Amino acid sequence: MNALIDIRDVHHAYATSSGPLPVLAGLDLSVREGGFTAVVGPSGCGKSTLTRLVAGLMIPDRGTVSLHGEPVTSPRSTVGMAFQNPVLLEWRTILQNVLLPLEIVPTRLSRSQQQERALSLLELVGLAGFEDKRPSELSGGMRQRASLCRALVHQPDVLILDEPFGALDAFTREDLWQIMHELKAREPFTGVLITHDLRESIFLADQVVVLSGRPARTQYVLDVPSDGPRDLDMLYTPESVEMLATLRREIQIAREGESADPAENARS
Amino acid sequence: MSRKLFVPLIAFAVFLALWELLVWANDWPNYKMASPTDLVPAFVKYWELFLSMGWQTLWRTVVGLLLAVVVGVLLGMVMGFSRTMRDALYPLLVGFNAVPKATVVPIVALLFVGAHDFNTVLIAFMISFFPIAVSVSIGLSTLEPEYRDILRSLGASQFTIFRKIALPKTLPEFFGALKVAVTLAFIGTNLMEIVSPHGRGLGALFDSAKTNSDYPLMFAVLIALAFLGIVLYYVVVALESIFAGWAERSPS
């Protein structure tokens, strides 16, 4: 089995004041080493719970989450995370922000090597010359780029992206998609991307997983034929249009399944 | 820089002129309202008293304030990290804060009779720790979970998360509260100095001026208190710009 991330039949429920609220019910997901998987599904279906499971911030009620064939029981420093909110530390410069993980994760790099690595990442995402600025001096897209650098600086083998481009305008988002491809060509990570944007999912990922409505299970898996770097024209080929139509149909089914859920009707 | 000093000085001069004008226009005698020119002789005559009493007031206020910072930050941390503690302590603290400290002063004065320094510091502390505790607890409890997750997912300990993120992120709120606490602490110190018999400090000087019907001296004490308050406030502002200067947006 060469899956780096392997999630098998995971069930999880949150304790709420009105009893347990199941969010995941039979989730399966497998990402090969070096793969990039996008997870799409209706709002509030448990996608963010999935990222917390992979990061080891939560243990599922049932089922297993494994990295490299080993069950995840606690956070591990070989994971990098970026969220919709770039959560940069306002009192640090951009460079100091990018270096933050190296202050926590044990590293073999010397101080100057750390700086060098951070600076080369910043250059790769187009932030050369901004390393001494504060986050408040940067635009939203630039902050998100810095946040990606921070997620990768300690050379994680798993990169978890929880809707990192959701709050950006359409053009900035497309710029960052390109940057993701450049990062992927240079950094050897395995990616999990949570997103609401179907175009984003097929442009970035080689596998798109559609989750059902809450409680989520794996409803559909789409393989995106990948042949190296992509450009935005790829989104307008007949194959892509067909993939998008398929995904949209699956999301529709997921949402209908959710509204037919008697528990959901009882709550609302 | 010179503009930063110049503008407040002009404002101060205008304030004194208006005050003088008000007294002069109404032809008030100095026992009704002393004018700025009445204060000069009072300062000249009692300058040694002002220095020694001012020092008394200052150090006790500062010690009370430091105590308020320590206790306020600890309480704020406890309430910021634990929901249960927040639910438990908030009503108590609000109730405690709602009691007018003027009513607590005689109780404390009787409880620790004769311990004037201790009593004064205690009241200065009691009146000023509340805003610090509240602001620190709000700063910590409103920390976005993503901040925590970024460090937790790397295996950082709770203490590391506190030191690297929670603490610096709370500093602007802390200094905001400290500015309020500074002026409150002065009120506390003076309440005790005025009320307790054989007290010391500017409050006691005010009280003895009242006993002797030296009205210009009473007003002079008020001005001296205002001066000390301004000095301490700007010390806090200076500390803020050193430790939390990043929170200030550069004017552009």
Assign B155 a pLDDT band (cuts: 50, 70, 90). confident
**Contact partners, residue A80, CB within 8 Å, separation at least 6:** A101, A150, A151, A152, A153, A154, A156, A158, A159, A160, A189
Q: What is the mean pLDDT of residues B64-78?
A: 94
The pLDDT of residue B25 is 93
The pLDDT of residue A21 is 85
The pLDDT of residue B217 is 92
Q: What is the mean pLDDT of residues B37-63?
A: 92
pLDDT tens digits for range B19-47: 999 999 999 888 888 889 888 988 999 99
The pLDDT of residue A268 is 39
Q: How many Å lie between the alpha carbon of A255 and the closest alpha carbon of chain B?
A: 27
Q: What is the mean pLDDT of residues B131-150?
A: 88
pLDDT tens digits for range A47-59: 888 888 888 888 8
The pLDDT of residue B240 is 92
The ipTM, to two decimals, is 0.77
The pLDDT of residue A267 is 44
User: Which domains, ranges and CATH numbers included, belong to chain A?
Assistant: 3-78+157-177+188-267 (3.40.50.300), 87-155 (no CATH)
Residues on chain B touching A55 (C-beta within 8 angstroms): 149, 153
Q: What percent of chain B has pLDDT over 90?
A: 54
**Residue A230 near chain B (CB below 8 Å):** no
The pLDDT of residue A228 is 63
**Positions of chain A with pLDDT under 70:** 1-2, 45, 227-229, 258-268
The pLDDT of residue B227 is 92
The pLDDT of residue A260 is 53
pLDDT tens digits for range B78-93: 998 888 999 999 999 9
Assign B147 a pLDDT band (cuts: 50, 70, 90). confident
The pLDDT of residue B220 is 93
Asked whether the beta carbons of residue A104 and residue B149 sit closer than 8 angstroms, the reply is: no
Assign B102 a pLDDT band (cuts: 50, 70, 90). confident
Gyration radius (Cα) of chain A, Å: 19
**pLDDT averaged over every residue in chain B:** 89
The pLDDT of residue B187 is 92
pLDDT tens digits for range B210-240: 999 888 999 999 999 999 999 999 999 999 9
The pLDDT of residue A259 is 56
Measured between its terminal Cα atoms, the distance across chain A in Å is 43
Asked whether the beta carbons of residue B146 and residue A85 sit closer than 8 angstroms, the reply is: yes
The pLDDT of residue A213 is 80
**Residue A91 near chain B (CB below 8 Å):** yes
Asked whether the beta carbons of residue B168 and residue A81 sit closer than 8 angstroms, the reply is: no
Residues on chain B touching A77 (C-beta within 8 angstroms): 154-155
Gyration radius (Cα) of chain B, Å: 22
Asked whether the beta carbons of residue B247 and residue A90 sit closer than 8 angstroms, the reply is: yes
The pLDDT of residue A170 is 86
**Residue of B153, B175, B241 to mutate when probing chain A, most A C-beta within 10 A:** B153
